[in-house]
Amino acid sequence: MFRRQDQILVGVSGGKDSLTLWQGLVALGYQADGIFIDLGIEDFSLPSRRIAENFAEKIGRPLHIISMKKELGFTIPDLKVRTQKYCSLCGSVKRYFLNHLARRMGYQVLVTGHNLDDEASSLLGNVINWHLKYLARKYPVLPEGHGFVRKAKPLCRFTAFEIREYAKRKGIEYLEDRCPLSPEATRLVYAEIMDQLEKKMPGTKLRFYLDYIRKAYPIFHEKMEDFLDKPLITCELCGEPAVSSPCFVCRLKEEARA
């Protein structure tokens, strides 16, 4: 996934997964800094940010803060008023800023705390809907290229339960609350289905995920270029990879100024 000498940027949310990942990397001697994206969600973003800042101070590593309100002129709750697709837009905005900062500040690798529960439920959703372009990139490490830094998910084989127990044993303070806007996210439906399958047939999540990586991913990945809606280009305004120019983030900025 990465080398000992790589400069690593950890996407930090204030939850158990990202903080456990950050703690583990630093404990193993990696040069890992954090990035927190303030989405402006009332009674959620501020406590998450404070926990992330306290943790960064505790482990002695820098934490970069990006304010969505400052960068774009609006927040996720503002988007919720304007569109029903605010959850998917939230994810896209976060991915944009994670890659943008990593590139701008010279980090070689961007890592996130996605766990086995996340990956299995996401895979189920992509298979049910046959999202081929996502299936072609459903892998725990993606190489750099086309304007993207390398991405990795080191916790992808650990369950949420295992990570929670580790965090407790290490005394990691984390925010247990879910995003108050997430109950409407469709991914939670797939997560519940996978939980039911795991309860009746233990080992289903790991088998489903690893067998996909070993058996199906190479087939989808080979055809990845065929599955893209549009070829990737470079946004003329921000320089980030996009399918159109200006990219969707730059268009959101323009709409906010209008």
In the predicted structure, residue 35 carries a pLDDT above the cut 90: yes
Pull the structure tokens for residue 194. Answer: 């996978």
Q: What are the phi and psi torsion angles at 38 (to 5°)?
A: -80, 110
Contacts of 35 (CB under 8 A, 6+ apart): 9, 10, 11, 12, 63, 64, 65, 66, 97, 98, 101, 102
Amino acid at 215: K
pLDDT one-digit tens code per residue, 121-176: 999 999 999 999 999 999 999 999 989 999 999 999 999 999 999 999 999 999 98
Residues of the chain above pLDDT 90, percent: 75
Q: Is 77 helix (H, G, I), strand (E, B) or coil?
A: helix
The helices-and-strands tally (H runs, E runs) of the chain is 13, 8
Please name the helix (run of DSSP H) or strand (run of DSSP E) that holds residue 227, with its range, or none: helix 224-227
pLDDT for position 224 = 85
pTM reported for the whole predicted model:
0.91
Q: Are the CB atoms for 116 and 209 separated by under 8 Å?
A: yes
Q: What is the DSSP string of 156-201?
A: TTS-HHHHHHHHHHTT-----PPPTTGGG-THHHHHHHHHHHHHHS
Nearest one of 16, 101, 99 to 62, comparing CA atoms? 101
Query: Using CA atoms, how far apart are residues 123 and 106, in angstroms rounded to an integer?
Result: 31
pLDDT for position 168 = 95
pLDDT for position 36 = 97
**Best CATH choice for the domain 7-222 from the list 3.40.30.10, 3.40.50.620, 3.90.1660.10, 3.90.1150.10:** 3.40.50.620
User: What is each CA distance from 87 to 76, 82, 83, in whole angstroms?
Assistant: 8, 12, 9
Which residues of the chain does CATH 3.40.50.620 include?
A: 7-222
Query: Using CA atoms, how far apart are residues 174 and 63, in angstroms rounded to an integer?
Result: 16
pLDDT one-digit tens code per residue, 60-89: 999 999 999 998 888 888 878 877 777 888
Nearest one of 38, 34, 197 to 121, comparing CA atoms? 197
In the predicted structure, residue 110 carries a pLDDT above the cut 90: yes
Nearest one of 22, 21, 7, 37 to 158, comparing CA atoms? 21
